[in-house]
Structure 1
Amino acid sequence: MEDHSEYSPNLNIIVPLFNEEENFDDLILRLKKILNESKIDIEVILIDDGSTDNTSSKMRELSLQNEKFQSVFLSRNFGHQLALSAGLSYVNAKEAVLIIDGDLQDPPEMIGKFYDLFKEGYDVVYAIRKNRKSSILLKGAYHIFYRIMKRFSYINIPLDSGDFSLISRRVVEHLNSMPEESRFLRGMRSWVGFKQIGIPYSRDEREKGESKYNLLNLISLALNGLINFSKYPIRFTMTVGIISLIISFIYFIITLYKKVFIGDVPIGFTALLFAIIMFGGLQLIAIGVIGEYILRIFFQVKKRPLFIVKERIQNCEKMQ
């Protein structure tokens, strides 16, 4: 991993931000308190994911005045997972990196517990959400999402664990070396391996602003995770095809038997129409699943950069 500065703190805190103007001052106040009280040498890396409010200007003003806050500005909104990837690419910490969201639902004050476990030899310390203060619909959707991932992933992705985590420098280097365009960091983090442990916590309610994750975003994230870390979608389509073939063969044998030995074959137009529509729908689903894999291959072989950085401020200086 490329060194971006001669200065190397013990720990980086990565915070992706998208239109978090309302939460920004509270976030920085709490982070400054941690920096002042902690015995750990910490530098914060703020990532602006193409914000359209005053988030970027607040970041710029802070980083030009306080060398403990590095700011990275992306050229547009690339999405939460790629914003995190951008932050990881500018890590300069000697020991580890803490990843938190900028909405203050993940309490940065847990850094001490994370770091203590890291010092005990854990390369990954992830937070496990005991409860979530959100709508019943989203709670249910998240509950289903994590259990689907747990059931069908070919790696062990811990239940109810998000991106809120502390990861060692060597894990960061392995994550940065992964070339995939479609990123699912909690899955990649599990895939890397090493010694990992979870800490249960209660996720705070968002006090200001609106959540950037809605039901459609969650479905997209779930699809991303399943395609990247599960063999189930493609094997499911093959299984459905085999079952359909068996059912068709059994129906053919029954029809042939009635024709030969009974001399009567039921017309069954309604049943036939239903079967055509059903199997036609299953075929379209299968084509869609295969198309999803092909689409990801298509984007991967283009080898476009994962993100574009338009500006960066470090050590109170504009770097580009």
Structure 2
Amino acid sequence: MPSPQISIVAPLYNESESFPHLVQRLTQLMDSLPLPIEVVLVDDGSRDTTALQMRQIALTDPRYHCVFLSRNHGHQLALTAGLAAARATEALFIIDGDLQDPPELLPDFYQKMQEGYDVVYAVRRKRKENFIKKTGYFLFYRLLKSISYVDIPLDSGDFALISRRVADVLNQMPEESRFLRGMRSWVGFKQTGFEYERSERVAGESKYSFKQLFGLAYNGIFNFSEFPIKFMTRAGGVAIGIALIYFVIVIVKKLFFAGIIEGFTALLFVIILFSGVQLMSLGIIGEYVLRIFFQSKGRPLYVVKEEIIESTVYSSQFTVGKVPPQTMSSTTTQRLTDNG
């Protein structure tokens, strides 16, 4: 097939139930558009039959380009692997495999890009999640926007159409704790939003646990805001202020009322206050140290086990994710050359 003009990138993890629906809708979309399009599916170490179904479609339809990671690396890193593998010359369309992000919006996004935008990101007008998740998302995006030094759009996830040059910049960013929607905003260029109503999952259950959602939120806050580290200074100032006020009260009572505040309760209050501030400060510092620790290891962001391009299987003999082109082996360079 000719070099794809657009790549549709979808990370998958245990999506065997929704996979037939995904393939059906993506195939119909590609058949209806005059542009050369490839679909990059990334298996993030699935434990069901997702990888098997991916192999079947990739070996029968050369428009499907499949990447199989060696284990579960997480949604953001699987998406990063898809961006790195995409061969599109013009734009990359990022969706989720559960079809909550309708792929049929590609023509609308592409039309907006033709107006001169490098990034067309989706803005969720209405969600189908439960009340707790909807409230959490609502509060998080507004908190992040208020404290971030980057203008991250409200209610905007990874669902977007990005130009080739934006994708190239993202691929060069070696961050280990990735928050792609924040990185996308940081890159800059001309960006615009496109409102849509998010659909329900076509099948199966969400693979994002509350723990993973909190981890993603932490990456957004600690990677794109100076607030946590500055908050420690402010919290320390407040604690000192409270201590000084308390000290003044004690002195006034001693000098003018012939007595001082006594008792276990007052002492306990002071100990809890200062201990809490110190432990919270250590926790915030620990978050930054942890990120520095993982980043300093220099490990690849992910490891590719196998790749199917235009119905041809390639078993990877190298790790990828942070390998600059000039350090790739000759085998790697030859493989990439052979496949565009």
TM-score, normalised via structure 1 length? 0.96
Given candidates 199, 206, 214, the residue that maps to 1:211 is 206
Q: Which amino acid aligns with 1:161?
A: S
Q: Which amino acid aligns with 2:128?
A: K
For the residue of structure 1 that corresponds to 2:17, the secondary structure is helix
CA contact (8 A) 1:63 1:70 kept: yes
Given candidates 292, 305, 319, the residue that maps to 2:314 is 319
Q: Residues 227-242 of structure 1: matches in 2 within 5 Å? A: 227-242=222-237
Match of 1:49 in 2: 44
For the residue of structure 2 that corresponds to 1:21, the secondary structure is coil
Alignment partners' CA distance in 1, 2:307 and 2:74: 18
Deviates most, 280-289 or 72-81: 280-289
1:188 corresponds to 2:193: no
Q: Residues 1-320 of structure 1: matches in 2 within 5 Å? A: 8-320=3-315
CA contact (8 A) 2:239 2:273 kept: no
For the residue of structure 2 that corresponds to 1:151, the secondary structure is helix
Alignment partners' CA distance in 1, 2:263 and 2:189: 59
For the residue of structure 2 that corresponds to 1:319, the secondary structure is strand
Alignment partners' CA distance in 2, 1:79 and 1:13: 19
Alignment partners' CA distance in 2, 1:201 and 1:134: 15
Alignment partners' CA distance in 1, 2:300 and 2:109: 32
CA contact (8 A) 1:138 1:214 kept: no
Alignment partners' CA distance in 2, 1:134 and 1:252: 50
Match of 1:3 in 2: none
Output one character per residue of 1:218-258: Cα deviation in whole Å (capped at 9) or x when no partner: 22111110000011111111100011112212222332233
Unpaired segments of 5 or more residues in structure 1? 1-5
Q: Tell me by how many angstroms 1:135 deviates.
A: 1.0
CA contact (8 A) 1:7 1:92 kept: no
Alignment partners' CA distance in 2, 1:250 and 1:203: 52
Q: Which amino acid aligns with 1:146?
A: Y
Alignment partners' CA distance in 2, 1:25 and 1:151: 41
Q: How many residues align?
A: 315
Alignment partners' CA distance in 1, 2:276 and 2:261: 25
Output one character per residue of 1:258-279: Cα deviation in whole Å (capped at 9) or x when no partner: 3344431121421220231132
Alignment partners' CA distance in 2, 1:143 and 1:48: 30
For the residue of structure 1 that corresponds to 2:296, the secondary structure is helix
CA contact (8 A) 1:70 1:313 kept: yes
Alignment partners' CA distance in 2, 1:7 and 1:231: 46
Alignment partners' CA distance in 1, 2:142 and 2:213: 13
For the residue of structure 1 that corresponds to 2:18, the secondary structure is helix
CA contact (8 A) 2:21 2:202 kept: no
Unpaired segments of 5 or more residues in structure 2? 316-340
Q: Which amino acid aligns with 2:90?
A: E
Alignment partners' CA distance in 1, 2:119 and 2:101: 17
Aligned CA-pair RMSD: 1.3
- State the identity %: 55
Q: Which amino acid aligns with 2:45?
A: G
Match of 2:338 in 1: none
For the residue of structure 2 that corresponds to 1:198, the secondary structure is strand
TM-score, normalised via structure 2 length? 0.90
Alignment partners' CA distance in 1, 2:293 and 2:257: 55
CA contact (8 A) 2:152 2:182 kept: yes
Alignment partners' CA distance in 1, 2:132 and 2:65: 37
Alignment partners' CA distance in 2, 1:258 and 1:135: 54
